[in-house]
Structure 1
Amino acid sequence: MRGRQYREADEWADDDADERWPITESEDERWESARRRAAVLSGAAERPVVNPYAIVALAAALLFLVPVAIVFGLLAFSHPKGKAMAVVSVLLGIVEAAVLAGVLTIMGAKLPHDLSSNATGTVAVTTTATTAAPVPTTVAPTTPAAPPEAVAGTACTPAQSALIGQASDGTTVICLHSGNGYRWAGPYTLSTTAHDAGTPCTAGTDKGARTADGHALVCERSGSATTWALWVE
């Protein structure tokens, strides 16, 4: 009776042990679980947390390094992350390039020609223009107009004052002012040599002369000098 109780107790103990201690994993299951965890961890390590190209592009854009910002911004699109940062970097680079181009254009327009040429590396050459000596021109002497035909004693106009005329008999008459107005008077004998009014003459020797344009001159004393003056009276 007692041995039966022991056997029953042992059987119950064996049953309780099976319920208390769970069945462990097999060796294959443990390797499979480890492989899955390693695969998950390795996949997470391969995926980049940040996009290094996008970070470099944004930093270059903030530092006005336009070519670097645009190039690295385009390279950043090949990565799964950081595309928004890449777009911002490329746009900033394009805007900065446009601004720099406008500033350089304005500065080039305001710079003098010699400064802008030296800035591009070219050597400004100063040329001295040589002015050729003026060629003397020969002016043909003008032939005085023929004296108008006039009759001594007839009226003439104030515009004809001191003008030399020629009577029908070939004698010389002059339009002079008198108490009756302007009339042709003469005949007079005048030198054929042309003089200018105001030039010196010899009193007592020079009596009458003519100008190049056909007006009569008379030698008059003015103070201590004698000069040719228009013969108007």
Structure 2
Amino acid sequence: MAWSKIEWTEASWNPLTGCTKISPGCKNCYAERMAKRLQSMGAPNYRNGFQLTLHEHALNIPLLWKSPRLIFVNSMSDLFHDEVPLQFIKKVFATMELAQHHVFQVLTKRSRRLAELAPQISWPQNVWMGVSAENGDYLYRIDNLRKVPAAVRFLSLEPLIGRIGTINLSAIDWVIVGGESGPGARPMDSSWVTEIRDQCLRSNVAFFFKQWGGVRKKKAGRSLEGRTWDQMPAEVTNRYQHAIA
């Protein structure tokens, strides 16, 4: 069972592993650190370390999980990496379409390729599509996401290493914000977070604050101005809870 400790999901599924860095948010990549650790432990799927590797044998894993859950797709890679063939991407989406009892959360930094390939992909209703942006230089990724015919679109503004500024939240259902954690973690200013939260409140967009981060992220916690923000997209949350019932 691939249970996840990530606050905004329940499980992870990695039909591919490994990636390459494309923007400042990738500098201290947690997946790279974990992949190298797993390689040293002899984990079969990480024999290539953090080199991009497709795992055909893992494509049907979610079909074996009978109870409904939120599944983060490729927590250890990026499905829309330039070196991932379209046919393999389609296989991943075919599995998600078959596993209607789950909700899948797909996240990418490769928003241009996402927008380019989206018309060639079948988009089942149980797939959430998201993009990551670490500061205001990458707002174009959000614009690309709006072109995608996903039932739910979300933003992962983490690791937040700079001010985002004004966000066009039209057609966006959910926003996650989190600080960087682990060795070399870069600090996150509280004003960057509250500015995003206030935009979400004004636009009636679900807001989820993951963590302050830092070298000791547990000590820093995830409380923002005296409360925890765990909002989820209402439409999909209702659908998911119905599936559980």
Fold-level similarity (TM above 0.5): no
Provide the TM-score with structure 2 as the length reference: 0.18
Higher helix proportion: 1
Of structures 1 and 2, the larger Rg is shown by 1
